[in-house]
A and B are shown apart, each in its own frame.
Chain A
Amino acid sequence: MREDLLIILPFAGAILAWFWPTERTRPLLLPAVGLAHTALAFWLLAAPPAVAPGAWLGFDALSRALLPAVSLLFLVCAAYSVPYLRMRTERPNRVFVSLLLAILGLMSTAHQARHLGVLWIATEALTFAAVPLIHFNATARAFEATWKYLLIGGTGIALSLLGSFCLGYASLHGGGTGDLTFAALAAQGASLSGPWVTIAWVLLLAGYGTKMGLAPMHTWKPDVYGEASGVVGAILAGGVTTVAFTALLRVRTVVDAAGGSAMAARTLLAIGLFSMFVAALFLLGTRDFKRMLAYSSVEHMGILVIATALGRIGVWAALFHVWNNSVTKGSLFLSAGNIRRAAGARTADEVSGMFAVTPRSAAIFVAGMFAVTACPPFGPFFSELLVVRAAFAGGNWAAAAIFLGCLFLAFLGMTRLVFAVVDGRPRASAKQGPRQFRETAGLIVPPLVLLALSLWLGLATPSVLRDSWTAAANQVFPGP
């Protein structure tokens, strides 16, 4: 029941928001619902419910390991979006608020989906629900970004549908009843038709990989993250990508059960390393600090996928990294949003000396940059170190070497760009911002909280989380 509330609550909130009378108070629904949702999620984390084996929806180990992170990120972003929408009174916020809540509901659904079809429907609804949020700014650039998001994301979604059909057909061909719950598919195991499983895996990897933003399917990401507002960027990068990653994990259990484990690992490792490499190259050159965040997100999706290829320890590290990445990216997106708003520009050619203009946001931005490039003592350092360790333990020397090399290039690119933005002398335009930007507590505390969370996750990972990750890893890799 509680787990259903996770889904019902946000949708109810969305509907409420749609019919809410006043523009000024509507945003308050976001933190309200977010708070309830987070409380519920953590309660479930502490006291997980039993899951009926055949259920289409259920709060199983995997959703227990990941959903709270998404919920937490949403809560903080919701808190941030209240003062943010105060600043954006020129735009009506009905669609924004209700769709944000709807997205939360859809994310909860997708995380809890134990059925191939339900998972797909939720993901694809998520894709389309995000569209109005992306062109919230209603600029020409925003529409262009939306268009690309739609076309590429839609194609990806279509491919994952095809993949789902193939998997279903694999089960049918193997004499299955066509029950598309993951449990049933995994139970069917070796009798699944091998070729169809392989085709399904490739299509699903490509499809959900498009949602995650793995190279070379990442092309929509910089445009969207660059044009969308900080809140939306944070939720897309920290929440929606997580959904796609969960989907891949669930599918992988089936593929492993069908005996395609080696093939899955091979493809995951390849696409992960490629994503990291591409992201590193782009990070080296980009001058736009919001697009930089997009490429960094591509890099971290690559890290997740690589970790997934490295067996159970790898998956454990990946789950850990999902939490770290969500909170750290969140703080980066929010502080970057502040800086962008204060400077009125987004490229290092137009922005500099932000330490003088927005000292707090700049400090958070720099700290978050160090955090996301795996500098201790923040969370990502620990998870990425675990990934490296897993790679060495598995004897993947080349993979580990490429991994570290890409980390290095990414670090070079990000430090150069970030310090170019925060250091030096502020431009005259930024001195008195185009739209008098003030660093109010409401705009500073949320990113700060996320940063603190990243620190806390690294230095004192709560045992309940560790246990949940262990359980999830065991669910992804059953058996000894």
Chain B
Amino acid sequence: MTGDLLLLSLICLAAGTAVGPRLAGAWLALTLAGASAALGAAILVLYGGAAWEWRSAVSLGGEALHLRLDAVSAMFMALLGVVGGAGAVFAQGYWTDGEHPDSAPRGRLWWDAMLLSMSVVLLSSNGLHFLIAWELFAISSYFLISLERERREARAAGWLFLAASHAGTLCLFAFFAVLAGRNGTWDLGPMQGRAELAPFFWLALAGFGVKAGLFPMHVWLPSAHASAPSHVSALMSGMAINMGVYGIVRFSGWMPAPALAGWAMVGAGACGAVLGIAFALAQNDLKRLLAYCSVENVGVIFMGLGGAMLGAAHGDAPWGRLLLAGALLHVWNHGLCKSLLFLCAGSVLHATGTREMSRLGGLWRAMPWTAALFAMGSVAISGLPPLNGFVSEWLVYLGLFDAVSGRGVLGWAAMPAAVALAGAGALALASFVKAGAVVFLGAARTEAAAPAHECGALMRAPMLALGGACALLALAPAAAWPALARATGAWHPAWADPATPVPLAVLGFVNTALALCLAAAVGALWARVRVNGLRRAPTWDCGYAAPDARMQYTGGSFGRTASDWFSWILLPERVMRRPRGPFPPNTVLFERVPETVLERLVSPVAAGVMRLASGARRLQHGRVQFYIVYLVGGITVLAILALLG
């Protein structure tokens, strides 16, 4: 049954890739069929229990096909189905052939190609095929990101992604080559007894960490997510970066990891969580803000994973399991909320044509659905009850608290992690109050926001679906536990106990009750206001004669207080001319927050390499005499090498 569904999904996606450029309708049908089949298969594995494994005589590249869908990969496969399907529907309304005759067909092709390659990555249990699918996945995401070829910005972002992800891929080259060499086969599977493999986990961490956007390897992420078409951003942020997480989960479960890796992951995760969201708070580009928020959430996930590895290493401590479950659930939650938010951003971009928050405002009147869904997504992603973001962060918190109470040396990892998680949560709240308010509330700041319109049904439906999924996970978190239990069991045999160690059911009940009370209270208050009478009047303007939209608080000034605390790493670039004298000339305030790691760390290194390269190129000066000198020099060096040693 599982196998059939998977086969169906692969076939549908392949067919969708084939017909995508020509037939939009058929493509949508095939993609939805494929996505839902994948989802179904994943649910079968997660709730039916039995992992699915399939070996075939058919060999590809000299290796026999070996596919497996166990609980761990099924967790991700399910998310793939949801996000992939939703994004496809959204694309039909958002990136239509009419508006983008050139890129829309290509977009459909690469969309299915990417879904296909990602699902093969999740399925393949053979190193060679894993690598093939992994690189195809990277290449198809590149073509999706740079879908608007004619825009230099999109091209640059795509290339940065391609470069970064290739660096990661080469680490994986080495990683799988070593594994194959040590195991004598490309076949993958649990290799927990082989302590000598442990040091190579670092290669995997580097390779997958880049794709996951783990701080400080996230350099490609903001620009890629910001410049890509929004449905692509949703897929990238909702699913693609989780493929990196999958790699780490997969191999941290299958092979022995060095003792230091857990600490490193918790540390990187904590830094990523706080700094990522600090960067987000300082952004003015709506999609960049969301992208940095992904860095934060990946940080949270890695805190959980690293903690789980530490727990497993220290006598299978039960709190380790809590952390792992929290991390995995957070993968789901973040994937859903973040793709929802990116789709909302897409509908804003579609309506106004700008991502700059400082040019928007007051959109709630024109696009109430988008506004409401964005607000919901914001509450969820800030980890506030009664929505799903809280549930997973709650699990992570519990794990960390227990780890500290354990009073072991691991407290030194868990204590900072817990505090970092709290800080990141509060900063996320600030960022999303800012984003939602500046974009949707108040008055329109420029005419760009004036002609806005609500998105069509094709774009609204997937947003509603994702919102519904968030709500489902929030109100019935206990329903997710069997899946989590199986996943943790598949990751670590000692953690397979199906009973919930924490009162998820109670939490679900509380969330539901809370939601109902909120509804009731809102209703009651609204009724009371109606009874007393409601009068509309201009905002109280403290005596100003003419309130102006530009008097509103801007996003920059809103986030200023908190982001100043991080100016040591944000290094914001401000150009400011204050009004001076009785008749001041027009004043200027320009703010830009660079991607510090990229511009202060990576770029200088790259510049150095380029200097070296241009120096070397001067040796190809075209004077043949010197070419012969090179030849003679070569012989001399070879002779020395041959005679010495």
Contacts and interface: CB of A to CB of B under 8 A. Distances in A.
Question: A contacts B directly in the complex (CB < 8 Å)?
Answer: yes
Given A375-B135, A424-B150, A461 B612 contact: no
A252 to B, nearest CB: 13
B635 A210 contact: no
A282 B627 contact: no
9 contacts: A206-B635, A216-B633, A216-B634, A282-B616, A285-B613, A385-B131, A392-B174, A412-B166, A458-B61
B135 A376 contact: yes
B638 A205 contact: yes
A393 B180 CA distance: 9
A59 interface: no
Interface in B590-645: 609-610, 612-614, 616-617, 620, 622, 624, 627-628, 630-631, 633-635, 637-639, 641-643, 645
Nearest to A461: B62
Contact of A198 (B150, B613, B643): B643
B62 A376 contact: no
A348 interface: no
B453 interface: no
B365 interface: no
Contacts of B173: 385, 388, 404
A400 B162 CA distance: 22
Interface residues of B, number: 51
B631 A155 contact: yes
A444 interface: no
Interface stretch (A86-94, A266-274, A338-346): A266-274
Contact of B61 (A285, A393, A400, A459): A459
B191 interface: no
Interface in A401-416: 401, 404, 407-409, 411-412, 415-416
Secondary structure at the B interface, as helix, strand, loop or mixed, is: helix
Given A148-B627, A423-B155, A284 B635 contact: no
Interface in A41-62: none
Contact of B177 (A148, A286, A392): A392
B631 A156 contact: yes
A425 to B, nearest CB: 6
Contacts of A458: 61
Contacts of B150: 423-425
A152 B139 contact: no
A405 B608 CA distance: 15
Interface string A294-321: 0000000000000000000000000000
B135 A152 contact: no
Interface string A181-214: 0000000000000000011011101100110000
Interface string B147-163: 00110100100010011
A383 to B, nearest CB: 11
Given A147-B624, A388-B177, A407-B170, A266 B634 contact: no
B315 interface: no
A114 B451 CA distance: 80
Contacts of B641: 266-267, 270
Q: Which 7 A-B pairs have the closest CB atoms?
A: A376-B132, A219-B627, A216-B630, A284-B613, A389-B177, A281-B616, A388-B177
Interface string A442-480: 000000000000000011110000100000000000000
A151 B631 CA distance: 11
Contact of A222 (B177, B616, B620): B620
B181 A389 contact: yes
A267 B641 CA distance: 6
A430 to B, nearest CB: 15
Contact of B155 (A144, A223, A424): A424
A106 interface: no
B177 to A, nearest CB: 4
Interface of A: 144, 147-148, 151-152, 155-156, 159, 198-199, 201-203, 205-206, 209-210, 215-217, 219-220, 222-223, 263, 266-267, 270-271, 278, 281-282, 284-286, 355, 370, 375-377, 381-382, 385, 388-389, 392-393, 400-401, 404, 407-409, 411-412, 415-416, 419, 423-425, 458-461, 466
Given A263-B642, A404-B170, A415 B136 contact: no
Interface string B162-205: 11001100100110111011000000000000000000000000
Given A198-B643, A281-B612, A376-B132, A219 B620 contact: yes
Nearest to B136: A376
B182 to A, nearest CB: 9
B233 to A, nearest CB: 20
A210 B163 CA distance: 32
A439 B98 CA distance: 28
A210 B631 CA distance: 8
B163 A412 contact: yes
B642 A266 contact: yes
B519 interface: no
Of the listed residues A148, A377, A381, the one surrounded by the most CB atoms of chain B closer than 10 A to its CB is: A377
Contacts of A210: 631
Contact of B635 (A147, A203, A285, A377): A203
Contacts of B633: 216
A217 B634 contact: yes
Contact of B162 (A198, A266, A407, A415): A415
Contacts of A355: 149
Contacts of B622: 144, 223
B60 interface: yes
A234 B624 CA distance: 24
B638 A159 contact: no
B616 A152 contact: no
Contacts of B617: 281-282, 285-286
Contact of A408 (B166, B616, B628, B635): B166
Given A377-B132, A404-B174, A202 B639 contact: yes
A271 B609 CA distance: 21
A219 B632 CA distance: 13
Contact of A385 (B177, B614, B631): B177
Given A281-B617, A389-B181, A416-B159, A424 B630 contact: no
A206 B132 contact: no
A372 B131 CA distance: 16
A389 B184 CA distance: 11
Contact of B638 (A144, A219, A271, A408): A271
B166 A411 contact: yes
Interface string B267-292: 00000000000000000000000000
B519 to A, nearest CB: 52
Contacts of A148: 624, 627
A364 to B, nearest CB: 15
A401 B637 CA distance: 22
B135 A459 contact: no
Contacts of B176: 385
Contacts of A419: 155, 159
A322 B162 CA distance: 27
B178 to A, nearest CB: 5
A418 B595 CA distance: 26
A381 B173 CA distance: 10
Nearest to A277: B616
Contacts of A285: 610, 613-614, 616-617
A217 B181 contact: no
B635 A202 contact: yes
A408 B174 CA distance: 12
Contacts of B132: 376-377, 381
Nearest to A387: B177
B638 A392 contact: no
A469 to B, nearest CB: 12
B628 A152 contact: yes
A219 B630 contact: yes
A202 B642 contact: yes
Given A210-B631, A404-B170, A423 B60 contact: no
A141 to B, nearest CB: 11
B365 to A, nearest CB: 39
A278 B616 contact: yes
A265 to B, nearest CB: 11
